Amino acid sequence: MAGPATEDRNPLFADLDLWPTDQAVAAMAREQAAAAAAVEPEAEAIAAAADAAAARLADGSGRLVHVGAGTSGRLAVQDGVELGPTYDWPESRWAFALAGGAEALLTSVEGAEDDEGAGEAAMRGLGLGTADVVIGVAASGRTPFTVAAVRAAAAAGALTVGIAGNAGTPLLAAAAHPILIETGAEVLAGSTRMKAGTAQKIALNLLSTAIMLRLGRIHAGLMVAMRATNRKLRVRAAAMVGEIAGVGAAEAQAALERAAGDIRTAVLLAKGLDQAAAEDALRAADGNLRSALAALPSGSRSL
């Protein structure tokens, strides 16, 4: 049986405004913990969506597209934006469709979520195809903009994923990979920026991380595709090179400089390959460092 709708009123909190602040905050914290726990039952569905998405994106041309409205849309956009610095995911291979446009990232655009035509137009404008992956997020599972966009994406041949908080809703029906995360009624009726938003953030994190895992952008629990764009990250990158290649700090740093900051290439340089051979090895392994290391002559140390 489906749990309470995300918009329902929770009678446990009918007098919330009369509670002492410490009790109100403690209760809200417990509800947030429950939201996190609600994601785990969908681990298999998230994994299946990630495997299917990675298969579509593996050829190097497909795009990852996040779609949503309001809080759901902003969370989705945040997830996509972070893929570039974390996994060196090309900006040209990511897009978003947010009800109300980019303006809605910073302010509420009233009525935008009800515009089905805008959702459809956004997908047409992207010129979607079979190599693309579209992730639609809506706490209610009924947001017209998001549902229309996912339906249009599916019609164009894109792989579709839907994340919603209510069973039997149009978004889940429209998506090839429905992910239902039932967080139930909120502490504040209808305020899905709370429990539902927390669960959506976790699900998006899991999904995108699993996609990048399957695309070879993670090695031994390390972010080997990370863009080292500041001092802290450059130090971290050199440490990764040293750990994986089994070399000292100076050698790791020198390899990283020769590789223009690319961690995976730097590891192979530190293992003795020249620049061209390192690049060829990574290309042959589709960017997967573990596969590239496995192809080195026996006796080479690797993590």
Catalytic residue IDs: 82, 113
Residue 162 β-bridge partners: 136, 178
The total of other beta-carbon atoms located within 10 Å of residue 75's CB is 23
Q: CA-to-CA distance for 13 and 178, rounded, in angstroms?
A: 30
Place of tokens 């998006």: 204
Rounded to 5 degrees, φ, ψ at 163 are -115, 120
Q: Which two tokens stand for residue 294?
A: 């496995």
The total of other beta-carbon atoms located within 10 Å of residue 157's CB is 12
Give, for 67, the enclosing helix (H) or strand (E): strand 64-68
Place of tokens 């897009």: 95
Give, for 180, the enclosing helix (H) or strand (E): strand 177-180
Listed residue (276, 81, 247) closest to 265, CA to CA: 276
Cα of 109 vs its chain's centroid, Å: 24
HEC profile of 208-231: HHHHHHHCCCCECCECCCCCCCCH
Q: CA-to-CA distance for 110 and 101, rounded, in angstroms?
A: 12
Quick check: 177 and 55 in contact, CB under 8 A? Answer: no
How far CA 276 is from CA of 58, 257, 261, 266, 297, in Å, comes to: 23, 15, 16, 12, 17
